[in-house]
Amino acid sequence: MSKVNIVEHELVPQHIVLSPEEEEVVLKKYNIDRNNLPLIKSTDPIIQELEEQLAEQSEDEGKVSLKGRIIKIIRNNSPAGEGVYYRYVIE
Amino acid sequence: MNEEDIMLFGPPKKIKEISFGVFSPENVRKVSVTTIIQADTYDDEGYPINGGLMDPKLGVIDPGLKCRTCNLKFGECQGHFGHIELSRPVIHVGYSKEIYDILKATCKECSRLLLTEERIEHYEEKLRQEGVRGSIRQSIISDVLSEAAKKKGVLKDSTCPHCGTDQLKVKFEKPTSYKEGDKKLTPSDIRERFEKITERDARLMGWNTEVSRPEWAILTVLPVAPVTVRPSITLESGIRSEDDLTHKLVDIIRINQRLRENLDAGAPQLIVEDLWELLQYHVTTYFDNEVSGVPPARHRSGRVLKTLTQRLKGKEGRFRNNLSGKRVDFSARTVISPDPNISINEVGVPDFIAMELTVPERVTSRNIERMRQIVLKGSNAYPGANYILRPDGKRKRVTDITSDILAEELEEGYTVERHLRDGDIVLFNRQPSLHRLSIMAHEVRVMPYKTFRLNLCVCPPYNADFDGDEMNMHVPQTEEAQAEARILMRVQEQIISPRFGEPVIGGSQDYLSGAYILTKRGTRFTRSQMDQMMYVSDIDAVLPEPAGEEDGKPYWTGKQVFSLLLPDDLNISYKSKICQKCDVCEYRDCKYDAYVLIEDGVLKTGVVDGATFKARSNCKLLDKLVKDYGTDVGRKFLDSVTRLILWSNALIGFTTGIDDEDLPKEALNLIEKVLTEGKDKVKRLIESYREGYLEPLPGRSERETLESRIMQALAEARDKAGTISERYLGMNRGAVVMAKTGAKGNMLDLTQMSAALGQMSVRGNRLHRGYAKRSLSSFDREDLSAASRGFVSSSYKQGLNPKEFFFHAMGGREGLVDTAVRTAQSGYMQRRLMNALQDLSVRYDGTVRTNDDIIVQFMYGEDGIDPAKSTYGKAVDIDWIVHKNIKAKKGA
Ligand SMILES: [Mg+2]
Ligand SMILES: [Zn+2]
Ligand SMILES: [Zn+2]
Ligand SMILES: [Zn+2]
């Protein structure tokens, strides 16, 4: 069975890993700390996929962990139009 | 918290944690202010006996006395616990199950948990893991208990892994006795065993040894509830009547004493055991008088006593009656009835209620004379006052005798609790309060008689009707609460639903059919009728030019009257509810007058009906009025239009009768022919099925194919019959007007009355159950014909034959069961949703957050739009803005 690339699936919204600077902007905008964000598990397939992609891009070998980072999710499938979410990666 | 409380108890504190455990004997003695040894309550002179159940140290229940323990007065002292030293230990019924679990899981000799050291460590490790809480922890504990319990009673390997003692099977005889083998285990035996249980083992069995030890589940000392919990009441005859708990405690002390005396005297074992058992019975029923297997303790009169558990449990118990649902002051409840002459913002309040409920009003230099008048009236005349409050906080009841003195005493700074009067704001509620609109703020209109009156347009949000419904009213007591209610909760602010953004408050029934009659072509009014209508509907406008003259007298059309209610700059067009959905719409030339066109506030064409102002049905005009002109205009329109229609209905008249469903002979013949054709088609289908010619549909068996083809053929036949009858059901029939305008009923109902009912069904299938292979015993087995499977070819008007009637009842029953089941299921689902979502709020930055600031949505609804303030889901109605601007330019 061939592996489906979930990132490209039409039902999977766009997930973007925020840079530490962008993270600060978001936290400041909502006047919160990370723990007030909705959560996403690092075992979530999309996070695993993003981690793999990052590992390929980085020079030094080895696993990249997104734990503790913030993911920006852009959903475009609701009648309200584009919706932006942020999630905090745990475990 | 008021200042006095802060002085007494210090500033408010935040609760960090609460730990629950079993009350230890040590703690019972520590909180106790006295030991109770006397079974009596009062002596001959009526004084409480020291060391008795009404010991003055236990608190005060008589006004005027002071507490012997804390020196506070009646009402201030909360009462203090005492205790009884039990002569022999007894089981606490509430823990009987836990005691059984431990007995099964521990060694009879060394009290160790019947698990090998290895297994104990295994389970300890499991419990140590992070996140092991709640039900996960519970399931590990029950694994421990059941694994350990297996050692008992199993022949091989029934020895203790720690000391090697053979174990016997423990039996539990409900509710409070245990047997090991054939020997009865006394509470003393059990307690002795439990005392030896190690801390580790206890923890593994689910006991937090920091707060609870297993042996505390066996009582050696019994707490005696404060007298404030079980006050005695003095009857009119002067005889004291004691609380049920006191009665029970008397029993306990009596038996406890007799047991002690017998023990001291070295009485025979048998007598001691009997008394011990009796003590166990009394203590058990003191905690719970509804334990299965125990005869409930009774009062001398034969009444069953209400003991501790009974005080808490059930609908009348402390939780459901006093904590989750409290009775409140400043509220009233009575039957509701309609009043079309009051505003939707108002509620009619019976005068006797207005004189009971009060609003505090502060006396100022501006209102002092008026307040004096009110106080002078007293509390038995309207509008009067019931109490005055002096600035020092002293409260004085206004009576007929004191009223003139109190009126004289009145000064600035006093507060008068005056009767409810017209214009006061109150909250009005109908259960079940399922949504925000179940409680709305109304303005009071004091009226005679005994019911609350409400405008018919507000029935939909409350889901109220007048078949005996009752509603509740609450009077806000502070200016702040009154202002909040008026601004946020007033009925007119709720016309547009926050759920679907359309009016939930609006016309219904007669208002809709009446609006049609009023505004249809050909409705004419004379000058005097115009005057009447404009007067009753409070129209502040100049009488328009007459539409024409007839017999030398001027006349006005219904459309002209209706136009008087509309703002001058209103422009809108939409299709009426009565629209026939013609293939090509002819707009303003529509032959049914179904195209509504309003230009500059004048109704040019079209009839007014459900599409204009019916509640909860996407009505266009009311929606636009509220959204573009504001809630004041919307409310005014509803108040006026309903009164206008009420009057025009009275002038013109409107009726319905059985003859509305009359069809001419030729139509009835045609309908019969169509139905017979349908039934013949069914016969042919059955024949071809029997002969095996029936082509099965993809994925279906032949039998299923036949069934669906039959259903199809019969539905077609009924539809044809319906269409034929509809041809004769014109707008000259009242029932048809009601159906087409959205007032009541629909065309299907009418064709069922006039042509034929059609197929009755249960769960979407034709009727087939009842007898073996047939629906009724009057048909042959395996008869698949239309008639035998619940097709009703009679109409309601013709009447149903007995078989049809029975089939109809079968179909009808399903409907009833469905609604009953649906409401129960959706009610439970709604409760769970509400509990999960009740603390979420939309913040000023547009985010939705929980009460501890965790973000749920980064923008409310992903677009930040409030449905109640948007037009069809969009933040702005661009068409309308462009239209208005063009108009403005043209005007300039
Ligand atoms: Mg009702
Ligand atoms: Zn006290
Ligand atoms: Zn042992
Ligand atoms: Zn038309």
Radius of gyration of chain B (CA): 39
The verdict on a CB contact (< 8 Å) between A84 and B863 is no
Comparing B4-8, B686-690, B716-720, the range with the smallest average pLDDT is: B4-8
User: Mind listing the pLDDT tens digit for each residue in B326-347?
Assistant: 889 999 999 999 999 999 999 9
The verdict on a CB contact (< 8 Å) between A78 and B859 is no
Per-residue pLDDT at B156 = 56
The verdict on a CB contact (< 8 Å) between A36 and B865 is no
Q: How many domains does chain A have?
A: 1
Q: Is A75 on the interface with B (CB under 8 A)?
A: yes
Is residue A11, in this structure, part of any structural domain at all?
Answer: no
Is residue A7, in this structure, part of any structural domain at all?
Answer: no
Q: Residue A87's closest chain B neighbor by CA?
A: B855
DSSP string computed for B523-587: -EE-HHHHHHHHHHTT--SPPPPPSEEETTEEEEEHHHHHHTTS-TT--EEEE-TT----SS--G
The verdict on a CB contact (< 8 Å) between A84 and B865 is no
Per-residue pLDDT at B889 = 67
The verdict on a CB contact (< 8 Å) between A80 and B865 is yes
The pTM assigned to this predicted structure is 0.76
- List of chain A residues whose C-beta atoms are within 8 Å of the C-beta of residue B856: 38
Other residues' Cβ atoms within 10 Å of the Cβ of residue B343: 23
Question: Which residues are B106's β-sheet partners?
Answer: B113
| Minimal C-alpha gap between A11 and chain B (Å) | 18
Per-residue pLDDT at B891 = 57
Residues 6+ apart with CB under 8 A from B607: B515, B516, B519, B520, B576, B578, B593, B594, B596, B741
Higher pLDDT, B163 or B385: B385
Q: Are strands B452-454 and B331-338 parallel, antiparallel or unpaired?
A: parallel
What region does B85 belong to: left with phi over 0, alpha with psi -120 to 50, or beta? beta
Is residue A54, in this structure, part of any structural domain at all?
Answer: yes
Higher pLDDT, B321 or B361: B361
Averaged pLDDT, B525-542: 92
The amino acid at residue B387 is: Y
Q: Is the pLDDT of residue B713 over 60?
A: yes
Mean pLDDT, chain B, rounded, equals 89
Residues 6+ apart with CB under 8 A from A33: A27
Radius of gyration of chain A (CA): 14
The CA-atom distances, in angstroms, between B62 and each of A59, B75, B227 are: 86, 9, 11
**Residue A32: which of B853, B856, B873 has the nearest Cβ?**
B853
Is residue A43, in this structure, part of any structural domain at all?
Answer: yes
DSSP string computed for B717-768: HHHHHHHHHHHH--TTSHHHHHHHHTSS--HHHHHHHHT--EE-EETTEE--
Mean pLDDT, chain A, rounded, equals 87
The CA-atom distances, in angstroms, between B208 and each of B29, B137, B707 are: 21, 13, 65
Is residue A52, in this structure, part of any structural domain at all?
Answer: yes
Q: Quick one: how far is CA A33 from the chain centroid?
A: 17
Q: Is the pLDDT of residue B888 over 70?
A: no
Helix (H, G, I), strand (E, B) or coil at A90: strand
- pLDDT band at B233; cut points 50, 70, 90: confident
From the list B635, B347, B631, B628, the residue with the least C-alpha distance to B506 is: B635
Percentage of residues of chain B with pLDDT beyond 90: 51
d(C-alpha B174, C-alpha B749), whole Å: 61
Q: Which A residues in the span 7-66 are in contact with B, Cβ-Cβ below 8 Å?
A: 30, 32, 35-38
The CA-atom distances, in angstroms, between B490 and each of B506, B616, B629 are: 15, 19, 17
The verdict on a CB contact (< 8 Å) between A30 and B859 is no
d(C-alpha B23, C-alpha B27), whole Å: 6
Residues 6+ apart with CB under 8 A from B523: B517, B557, B558, B648, B652
- List of chain B residues whose C-beta atoms are within 8 Å of the C-beta of residue A75: 862
User: Mind listing the pLDDT tens digit for each residue in B152-206?
Assistant: 655 556 788 888 888 888 888 878 889 888 888 899 989 999 999 999 999 999 8
The verdict on a CB contact (< 8 Å) between B855 and A81 is no
Asked if residues B759 and B791 have their Cβ atoms less than 8 Å apart, the reply is yes
Q: Which of A26, A32, A34, A41 to mutate to test the interface with B (most CBs of B within 10 A)?
A: A32
Averaged pLDDT, B251-260: 91
| Minimal C-alpha gap between B504 and chain A (Å) | 23
d(C-alpha B355, C-alpha B384), whole Å: 8
Cβ < 5 A residues, ion ligand 1: B 465, 467, 469
What region does B566 belong to: left with phi over 0, alpha with psi -120 to 50, or beta? beta
The DSSP letter of residue B472 is E
Q: Are strands B218-224 and B82-91 parallel, antiparallel or unpaired?
A: antiparallel
Other residues' Cβ atoms within 10 Å of the Cβ of residue B767: 19
d(C-alpha B622, C-alpha B611), whole Å: 9
Averaged pLDDT, B525-530: 93
Per-residue pLDDT at B157 = 61
Q: Is B875 on the interface with A (CB under 8 A)?
A: no
Per-residue pLDDT at B878 = 76
From the list B746, B784, B793, the residue with the least C-alpha distance to B765 is: B784
DSSP string computed for B44-88: TTSPBPTTSTT-GGG---STT-B-TTT-PBTTT-----EEEEEEE
The CATH number for A26's domain is 3.90.940.20
| Minimal C-alpha gap between A21 and chain B (Å) | 19
User: Mind listing the pLDDT tens digit for each residue in B624-678?
Assistant: 999 989 999 999 999 999 999 999 999 999 999 999 999 999 999 999 999 999 9
What region does B723 belong to: left with phi over 0, alpha with psi -120 to 50, or beta? alpha
Q: Residue B867's closest chain A neighbor by CA?
A: A80
Averaged pLDDT, B845-869: 89
The verdict on a CB contact (< 8 Å) between B853 and A75 is no
The CA-atom distances, in angstroms, between A18 and each of A22, A26, A73 are: 6, 9, 10
- pLDDT band at B373; cut points 50, 70, 90: very high
Task: Count interface pairs A-B at CB distance under 8 A.
Answer: 35
User: By residue range, what is the domain housing residue A46?
Assistant: 16-75+86-90
- List of chain A residues whose C-beta atoms are within 8 Å of the C-beta of residue B858: 30, 83-86
Per-residue pLDDT at A1 = 62
Give the closest ligand to the alpha carbon of residue B586: 4
Percentage of residues of chain B with pLDDT beyond 70: 97
The verdict on a CB contact (< 8 Å) between A32 and B855 is yes
Asked if residues B595 and B587 have their Cβ atoms less than 8 Å apart, the reply is yes
DSSP string computed for B645-699: HHHHHHHH-----GGGG---HHHHHHHHHHHHHHHHHHHHHHHHHHTT---PPTT
d(C-alpha B413, C-alpha B404), whole Å: 19
The verdict on a CB contact (< 8 Å) between A36 and B855 is yes
**Residue B854: which of A36, A83, A84 has the nearest Cβ?**
A36
From the list B222, B283, B226, the residue with the least C-alpha distance to B251 is: B283
CA of A52 to the centre of ligand 1 (A): 63
The verdict on a CB contact (< 8 Å) between B858 and A86 is yes
Per-residue pLDDT at B541 = 86
- List of chain A residues whose C-beta atoms are within 8 Å of the C-beta of residue B865: 80
- List of chain A residues whose C-beta atoms are within 8 Å of the C-beta of residue B866: none
User: Mind listing the pLDDT tens digit for each residue in B264-322?
Assistant: 988 888 888 999 999 999 999 999 998 888 888 888 888 898 999 999 987 788 887 88
Is residue A10, in this structure, part of any structural domain at all?
Answer: no
Q: Is B856 on the interface with A (CB under 8 A)?
A: yes
Other residues' Cβ atoms within 10 Å of the Cβ of residue B827: 11
The verdict on a CB contact (< 8 Å) between B847 and A83 is no
Per-residue pLDDT at B870 = 82
| Torsions phi, psi for B387 (to 5 deg) | -145, 155
Per-residue pLDDT at B446 = 97
Other residues' Cβ atoms within 10 Å of the Cβ of residue B34: 19
d(C-alpha B118, C-alpha B380), whole Å: 82
Give the closest ligand to the alpha carbon of residue B590: 4
Q: Which two tokens stand for residue B604?
A: 């040019």
| Torsions phi, psi for B646 (to 5 deg) | -55, -40
The verdict on a CB contact (< 8 Å) between B858 and A32 is no
Q: Which two tokens stand for residue B1?
A: 């918290």
CA of B469 to the centre of ligand 1 (A): 5
d(C-alpha B554, C-alpha B527), whole Å: 7
At what angle are helices B747-754 and B734-741 packed, to 10 degrees? Answer: 150
Averaged pLDDT, B857-873: 84
**CA dihedral sign of residues B507, B509, B510, B513:** positive
Per-residue pLDDT at B155 = 52
Other residues' Cβ atoms within 10 Å of the Cβ of residue B276: 22
First to last CA, chain B: 62
The verdict on a CB contact (< 8 Å) between B855 and A78 is no
Is residue A5, in this structure, part of any structural domain at all?
Answer: no
d(C-alpha B540, C-alpha B535), whole Å: 9
The verdict on a CB contact (< 8 Å) between B855 and A79 is no
What region does B538 belong to: left with phi over 0, alpha with psi -120 to 50, or beta? left
d(C-alpha B885, C-alpha B399), whole Å: 64
Per-residue pLDDT at A73 = 94
Asked if residues B811 and B790 have their Cβ atoms less than 8 Å apart, the reply is yes
CA of B450 to the centre of ligand 1 (A): 18
User: Mind listing the pLDDT tens digit for each residue in B490-500?
Assistant: 999 999 999 88
Q: Is the pLDDT of residue B558 over 70?
A: yes
Is residue A9, in this structure, part of any structural domain at all?
Answer: no
Per-residue pLDDT at B108 = 85
User: Mind listing the pLDDT tens digit for each residue in B53-108?
Assistant: 888 888 888 777 788 888 888 888 888 999 999 999 999 999 999 999 998 888 88
CA of B169 to the centre of ligand 3 (A): 14
Q: Residue A83's closest chain B neighbor by CA?
A: B862
Q: Which of B848, B849, B853 to mutate to test the interface with A (most CBs of A within 10 A)?
A: B853
CA of B54 to the centre of ligand 4 (A): 86
d(C-alpha B892, C-alpha B881), whole Å: 17
DSSP string computed for A7-72: GG-TTSPEEEEPPHHHHHHHHHHHT--GGGS-EEETTSHHHHHHHHHHHHHSSS-S----TT-EEE
From the list B723, B727, B720, the residue with the least C-alpha distance to B681 is: B720
CA dihedral B344, B494, B632, B598 (to 10 degrees): -90
